[in-house]
Structure 1
Amino acid sequence: MFNAFLLTRGWRDTPKGLELEFHWATDSGAVCTRFTEQEAVFFIATRKLSQALEILQSLSGWRHRDLPLKTRDGKAVTALYFRTMGDAREAEKRLTSHTIPCWEADIRPPERFLMERFITAAACIDAVPGKPRTLFNPKLAPADFRPKLRLASIDIETTMDAKTLYSIGVYSAQTRCVFMVAEQTSTQVLDDGTSLIGCVDEKACLQKFLAWLKEEDPDGLIGWNVVQFDLWVLCDIAARLKLVLDIGRGGARPFWRQEKGEGGRRFVSIPGRVVLDGIELLKQANYQFDSFALNNVAAELLGEGKLLHGADRGEDITRLFHADKSALARYNLKDCQLVWDIFAQQELLEFAIERSQLTGLLLDRIGGSVAAFEYSYLPRLHRNGFIAPNLGELRSDIVSPGGFVMDSDPGIYQHVLVLDFKSLYPSIIRTFYIDPCAFWCAEQSTTKRHLVAGFNGASFDRDKAILPDMIESLWQARDRAKAGNNTPLSYAIKIIMNSFYGVLGSTGCRFFDPRVASSITLRGHDIIQSSKRWIETQGYKVIYGDTDSVFVWLCTDAPMPDEEAAGVGRHLAEGLNVWWQEKLQDEFGIESALEIEFETHYKKFLMPTVRGSDEGSKKRYAGLVGKAGAETLVFKGLESVRTDWTLLAREFQHELYRRVFADEPYQAYVQQCVRALMLGESDDKLVYKKRLRRRLSDYQKNVPPHVQAARKQKEWGLGELKRGDWVSYVITLQGPEPVPGRRSELDYEHYRTRQLAPVADSILYFLNDSLAAITDRQMSLFG
């Protein structure tokens, strides 16, 4: 017996039945397991069986069996088993055309095979490790195993139209080389240790890369936009050269899928190998950057960047290919190395491994919150005696609200504490037994003894709830991960737990029911409002609340050391936790899993108004935190943290707020900034940046400024920007214009009234002051 970690899974129809194929990484190398003569399965209502038998009488190679399972509304079901996926799909097509629902027909056999054995990614294989490397029908069991995957970072260089290949860079623990089309076909070792391998033409370049891939045989390939560009372009070039790009294990070819529509995202499956994209993994781990371009991310995380950068990089690459191949090789390999170093520093592989082991999602799966939920939930649901409904079965007029956002009391405050409910929605699910299966059982229950009331008429059977146990297991695993300083695991668990409500509240989930979802959110509303009332009985004032947090003003302007304020915060959190434990035991007879924590003490705090009114804003605030002499400013939702505001506005806000919070004079600073703007001394800080969310031609009625600038850039022959590209533009006296090739004078009055004034007035309003009042006299100097 030996442990293995899943890399890829697949299936094929054979004359003897369905065959499932799984590729695994082990401590002694890659292993493939194949399971023959398997069956595809879905369910129909038992009362429809006789009709189904008549409809499918001409279809062979299938059987049926009654099972002790039922639908959400209590109807008995029969399982239909098929020797091939082709037969299963044909049967589903015939039955649904006769309005006979087929449940769980969309669950693919490889996933069902593993999930019903509670195998997510790691498994114990009952066989002797070693040769042969392909095993047939071994026994599998769940395991807790983390592999040491062998990766290789790849990057290609091409002509600007990506039609002609220049080179392929490879960086791994064993290899640092660049395969390049060159006149000389010898291998040259550069002064930095890079091996430059000359290839007579593109085909030879690809063939040498494929030979290296088969020899080194990595478990995975990593890169930057590696699926959408590098691998796609290599496949396209290989097709043109009539070359088989067999980059999978055992000479397997990649399988491509592309979303419909222009610019649709591409997906690739390579049997036996995973492909991990740095951009996608960073997004999955909730990283935020102004731009996910490699040069920008590397500069921010590693403090270094690409060897070539700027708008003319494409031309520079072509120039180096013809004039200095050694320099191009260094550039190519540097990109590979940057990706490698980002993966290592941010532990992206470890994050992907932990996420896969927790959820059943493949290592290179993008997104997949719903799929991850269903993978864990379905086998547990079956053991509770139910099958899953189909997507979109439920029709309801009930609307599930979002998180509760309290009306704020605007103003500048001293000593504001933030109390935060730890993982509020998962805690609510655990505490109130909120769960789809528990909801179905409660609807069919003849007694109210074991039921916990929800909202909108929902109640939940505490003896049949599945999710609370799932969350409690994850919660305990996260506590262990934190204790062991396993950051990737801890963060992966946090993301998964917090996704549960989003899944249940999504119409894209087969378990969606607004009564279940609203029992989470409306309970959250009640918890925040009830907590506010309790806190105010303690002599303090709640000035704002947002989903899982309350902002508590200590009702004093007197100096207070940070530790003293933190003590008040901890005391309030402890008292509130005890109060909720007693309240829920008295009212529901349940134990509270709610846990509120003291999070932050703001020495100074601003809750602004909605622009142009006296009403308090929501999800926008700023504050001063930290011990004396080491304070820092925190901004939430304000211009300082928004990339669609100019650098001028962001720097101005940061310094102005610092001065106000520190009780320093600010008028001279405001005058100085306005004066520098009007004299053209801040021109390099006036650039707006915004991403194109659609194609340029899709903007018809309302054409925003960044689209106007992008169209001018195209009209002026400065390059066409596509959906997803960032537009850098300025506002001129002739309207928005792209930064490259700007033709008109800048509109300084626009920046004064639309950038500086809103920033200044959001805080000066509470000091009975404004930017206009400060600068009107000075502005006359420029008239």
Structure 2
Amino acid sequence: MEPVTGFILSRQQRDRRDGIELTYWVSTDQGPREVRVPGQEAVFFVRLREVERVADALQGLEDWRLEERPLRDLTGEPVAALYCRSLKRLRQVTECLAAAGVALLEEDIRPVDRYLMERFIQGGVEVQWFRDGQPRLKAADYRPRLRMLSIDLETTLSADRILSIGLQAAGYGRVLLCGQGENRDWLEFVADEKALLQRFLEEVEAFDPDIFIGWNVIDFDVRVLEQRARALGLKLRLGRDTEPAQLVRSGQGKSFVRLGGRLVIDGIDTLRGATWQFESFSLEFVARELLGRGKLIDHVDARGAEIQRLYREDPVALARYNLEDCALVQEIFERAQLLHFLVERCRLTGLPLDKVGGSAAAFDNQYLPRLHRSGYVAAEYASGLTGLSIPGGFVMDSQPGLYRQVLVLDFKSLYPSIIRTFCVDPCGLAEGLREGADPDDLVPGFNGAIFARSRSILPSIIERLWQARDEAKRERNAPLSQAIKIIMNSFYGVLGSNLCRFYDQRLSGSITLRGHEILNRTRDEIERQFGYRVIYGDTDSVFVWLGDDCSDDEAHKAGEALALHLNDWWRRQLEQRFGLPSFLEIQYESHFRRFLMPRMRHSEKGSKKRYAGLRRQADGGDELVFKGLENVRTDWTPLARRVQQELYERVFRGQPFEAFIRATVDEVLAGRRDGELVYRKRLRRPLDQYQRNRPPQVQAALKAEQALFREGRRSPYRAGSRVEYLITVNGPEPLEFHGSPIDYQHYIDRQLKPVVDTLLPFLGQDFDSLVAPQLGLF
């Protein structure tokens, strides 16, 4: 057969008589292709000194073998490879060895993943066939054209019956609805729920998507489809093979769907993975933020009951609502370029498109094959040195005040830069601590760490990613640039997590402590060389006050001069101290015309990770920026956030503000701001788990449950649910059922006063003095 180039969609493994069969569905220019790799073995490693214990523990088991390999673990001990001819035997072997206390190395890597990883196949693949029909896979550069199909179910309130199913893609839209009515080109009525599911499967087969997308699509839509299909005696064959869909929950509690040749990707998880942030990830909220429109329903907050009413009274309107939900998801994916992001992430790391999270897996995919070629295998999970005092990112003590002309200098990707510059690396650490290592090849770390620069692997991975990101920026490929940024920044998190196989506090400490040193020495050089005052520093940034008398143009020139000097200074320092090239790059990132560094509440000390400023933009204009203050925290009321926004605007721009504060207090007390007094907070766990401590949102949710029970309605509250409530004279009450008078004094004391008094004391004023006359009138 002719070679085929494509992109791996799905991967599966199963036992066959001749060994483990690996199945890859590949998207190609000629359509989807199934590629089966038969006769494979699973492999992991044990230390050579434990082979006798291995043989004793596995007595009576067949279809496994040990083979000595020219490999060592990261402590330098030789290892042997243990091969199993079936997945079933692999499970039995690992269970027996774990029970016998034998250390297992890389035993958790699935054969279907290892096969690709060891061949550096990251999405793109070329498939060639030998004369005997056996395939050979190798890495290829290929960007796929994938077909997405957005699906959405409407169900009864208890989800024990599906009312309609919407399907939507570019140039295609259809709703299947249980009941009787006149069919349209986009709407088809079917007799019953079983017929609905059968028609859905027929539509899927006809459209032939590569990817299903939706909103909470796995934990709701696919789960309901699977449950209802099982109840009705149907097989939910959503894949390109004949196997029914399998819902699987990972060890981290995430759900995913196994299909042959197709994937199911959730919009919420993908947005979060691409670091999008919203106050709420409800479809209504995200759609309005990104698309400027929301659901086709009048009562979004009570949509469950409204859907039931529409099904009874106006099924065509329900079908339109169903299809619009599908369209919203499709357009969100397009607007946020989510599929592009997932494809680029896969091309960089080899992670499957539907993988949620996966920082450790992405690290393994890139690192392990290179580690093996260096003669090492990874250690068992979290077996490195621990018990050390390792700080997190550096945060300087801030100097509170209301300033003019503050610059922010930011180290570009500081932690990846430290890894690259100082050769921080698991293999480099093993080689650096090895007896007889070349002293001229060594780079000191912290807590006794020493790295061999010539044997370090991670710096070259970062260099490749760095170059790719620079190229992505030149090409304005935002999804690729974002994918690379997330991957590079995850390396420290992986090395610093005890869930990682390379966890060793000498690695994480050599990154964070070097970061502390870099920021402290940067501050000292700025103050020594230029005489400016550094008023704050956080992880990878320093905040430099130039003095209130400095002009905008002078500030801009000072920022460029500081960056130029510091980069040159660090190059000279690293060459002189370590003989190392510097990959540290400090940038003049922001210029604040006005800047507030607030105090901690009830203290004279400066706060951390909280500030606000009027930032100058490239066009000469400015924008108000908040970090960590109430304006950007969703657990504060809209009243507090709006007042803070308007107050800071007025103060930073030199406008009067006293009358605004007084008028706001009057409006609150007069009941004219009730719509801005709603708290919106999430439940961290199920309601019945709150026994001793019941915060306001829990109290409100319990009251709402009682009211709903009296009305014969189900409680909507689960872990993660958002509760909307007001503080009344009788305590917290749910917004939907509140009847007591609002406690306006609470909002003045707990919402207005704190946000106002974060700023006013720096102007010689305070909230109580400004509003005392008003309060005395009520």
Query: Structure 2 matches for 1:553-564, cutoff 5 A?
Result: 553-555=545-547, 557-558=548-549, 560-561=551-552, 563-564=553-554
Q: Is it true that 1:322 corresponds to 2:319 in the alignment?
A: no
* Equivalent position of 1:653 in the other structure: 644
State the 1:108 CA deviation.
0.7
* Equivalent position of 2:769 in the other structure: 773
Q: Which moved more, 1:522-531 or 1:102-111?
A: 102-111
TM-score by length of 1: 0.96
CA distance, structure 1, for counterparts of residue 15 and residue 111 of structure 2: 11
Q: Is the 8 A contact 2:22 2:36 kept in 1?
A: yes
CA distance, structure 2, for counterparts of residue 424 and residue 511 of structure 1: 21
Q: Is it true that 1:570 corresponds to 2:560 in the alignment?
A: yes
Query: Structure 2 matches for 1:472-487, cutoff 5 A?
Result: 472-487=463-478
Q: Is the 8 A contact 1:33 1:137 kept in 2?
A: no
1:239 to 230, 236, 250: 230
Q: Is the 8 A contact 1:406 1:544 kept in 2?
A: yes
Q: Is it true that 1:155 corresponds to 2:155 in the alignment?
A: no
CA distance, structure 2, for counterparts of residue 153 and residue 111 of structure 1: 28
State the 1:449 CA deviation.
2.2
State the 1:251 CA deviation.
2.0
Q: Is the 8 A contact 1:33 1:136 kept in 2?
A: no
Query: Structure 2 matches for 1:519-558, cutoff 5 A?
Result: 519-537=510-528, 538-555=530-547, 557-558=548-549
State the 1:266 CA deviation.
2.7
State the 1:392 CA deviation.
3.1
Q: Is it true that 1:140 corresponds to 2:125 in the alignment?
A: no
The secondary structure found in structure 1 opposite 2:166 is strand
Which residue identity lines up with residue 123 of structure 1 in the other structure? V
CA distance, structure 1, for counterparts of residue 420 and residue 620 of structure 2: 42
* Equivalent position of 2:348 in the other structure: 358
Q: Is it true that 1:166 corresponds to 2:158 in the alignment?
A: no
Query: Structure 2 matches for 1:219-368, cutoff 5 A?
Result: 219-258=210-249, 265-308=254-297, 309-368=299-358
* Equivalent position of 1:192 in the other structure: none
Q: Is the 8 A contact 2:495 2:504 kept in 1?
A: yes
1:681 to 666, 672, 675: 672
Q: Structure 1, residues 436-464: CA drift from partner, whole Å, max 9, x if none?
A: 11111111132422110011111111011
State the 1:259 CA deviation.
5.9
**Distance change (3 Å), C-alpha of 1:95 and 1:259:** closer
Q: Structure 1, residues 362-400: CA drift from partner, whole Å, max 9, x if none?
A: 101111111111111111110111111111323521132
Q: Structure 1, residues 315-334: CA drift from partner, whole Å, max 9, x if none?
A: 22122222222111111111
* Equivalent position of 1:124 in the other structure: 126
Q: Is it true that 1:432 corresponds to 2:429 in the alignment?
A: no
CA distance, structure 1, for counterparts of residue 171 and residue 62 of structure 2: 53
Q: Is it true that 1:60 corresponds to 2:51 in the alignment?
A: no
* Equivalent position of 1:716 in the other structure: 707
CA distance, structure 1, for counterparts of residue 133 and residue 335 of structure 2: 39
**Distance change (3 Å), C-alpha of 1:548 and 1:274:** same
Q: Is the 8 A contact 2:535 2:544 kept in 1?
A: yes
* Equivalent position of 1:731 in the other structure: 727
Q: Which moved more, 1:216-225 or 1:545-554?
A: 216-225
Query: Structure 2 matches for 1:492-641, cutoff 5 A?
Result: 492-537=483-528, 538-555=530-547, 557-558=548-549, 560-561=551-552, 563-626=553-616, 630-641=621-632
* Equivalent position of 2:42 in the other structure: 40
Which residue identity lines up with residue 551 of structure 1 in the other structure? F
State the 1:136 CA deviation.
5.6
Q: Is the 8 A contact 1:228 1:265 kept in 2?
A: no
**Distance change (3 Å), C-alpha of 1:428 and 1:618:** same
State the 1:168 CA deviation.
0.7
Q: Is the 8 A contact 1:36 1:136 kept in 2?
A: no
* Equivalent position of 1:16 in the other structure: 18
Work out the number of aligned pairs and report it: 766
Q: Is it true that 1:199 corresponds to 2:201 in the alignment?
A: no
Q: Is it true that 1:176 corresponds to 2:173 in the alignment?
A: yes
Q: Is the 8 A contact 1:35 1:136 kept in 2?
A: no
CA distance, structure 2, for counterparts of residue 644 and residue 393 of structure 1: 40
**Distance change (3 Å), C-alpha of 1:136 and 1:503:** farther
* Equivalent position of 1:388 in the other structure: 378
State the 1:96 CA deviation.
2.6
Q: Which moved more, 1:601-610 or 1:170-179?
A: 170-179
State the 1:525 CA deviation.
0.3
Which residue identity lines up with residue 666 of structure 1 in the other structure? F
State the 1:580 CA deviation.
0.3
**Distance change (3 Å), C-alpha of 1:742 and 1:779:** same
CA distance, structure 2, for counterparts of residue 395 and residue 432 of structure 1: 19
* Equivalent position of 1:131 in the other structure: none
* Equivalent position of 1:404 in the other structure: 394
State the 1:265 CA deviation.
4.3
CA distance, structure 1, for counterparts of residue 126 and residue 765 of structure 2: 70
Q: Is the 8 A contact 2:257 2:263 kept in 1?
A: no
Unaligned ranges ≥5, structure 1: 129-134, 190-194
Q: Is the 8 A contact 1:416 1:603 kept in 2?
A: yes
CA distance, structure 1, for counterparts of residue 392 and residue 571 of structure 2: 25
CA distance, structure 1, for counterparts of residue 56 and residue 396 of structure 2: 59
CA distance, structure 1, for counterparts of residue 435 and residue 575 of structure 2: 23
Which residue identity lines up with residue 382 of structure 1 in the other structure? H
Q: Which moved more, 1:290-299 or 1:136-145?
A: 136-145
Q: Structure 1, residues 214-240: CA drift from partner, whole Å, max 9, x if none?
A: 122111111111101111101111011
1:488 to 479, 490, 497: 479
Unaligned ranges ≥5, structure 2: none
CA distance, structure 1, for counterparts of residue 262 and residue 666 of structure 2: 60
Q: Structure 1, residues 106-137: CA drift from partner, whole Å, max 9, x if none?
A: 11101110000011111111259xxxxxx963
State the 1:342 CA deviation.
0.8
Task: Tell me how large the CA RMSD over aligned residues is.
Answer: 1.6
State the 1:2 CA deviation.
2.7
Identity %: 49
CA distance, structure 2, for counterparts of residue 136 and residue 663 of structure 1: 78
Query: Structure 2 matches for 1:444-459, cutoff 5 A?
Result: 444-447=434-437, 448-459=439-450
2:741 to 738, 745, 767: 745
Q: Structure 1, residues 465-512: CA drift from partner, whole Å, max 9, x if none?
A: 000000000000001111111111011000000000000000110100
The secondary structure found in structure 2 opposite 1:31 is strand
State the 1:56 CA deviation.
2.8
Q: Structure 1, residues 239-296: CA drift from partner, whole Å, max 9, x if none?
A: 11011111111222112123689xx643221121011111111101111111111111
Which residue identity lines up with residue 204 of structure 1 in the other structure? A
CA distance, structure 1, for counterparts of residue 653 and residue 57 of structure 2: 80
**Distance change (3 Å), C-alpha of 1:123 and 1:260:** closer
* Equivalent position of 2:100 in the other structure: 98
**Distance change (3 Å), C-alpha of 1:498 and 1:136:** farther
The secondary structure found in structure 1 opposite 2:281 is coil
CA distance, structure 2, for counterparts of residue 613 and residue 54 of structure 1: 65
CA distance, structure 2, for counterparts of residue 136 and residue 293 of structure 1: 49
State the 1:36 CA deviation.
0.7
1:107 to 95, 106, 109: 109
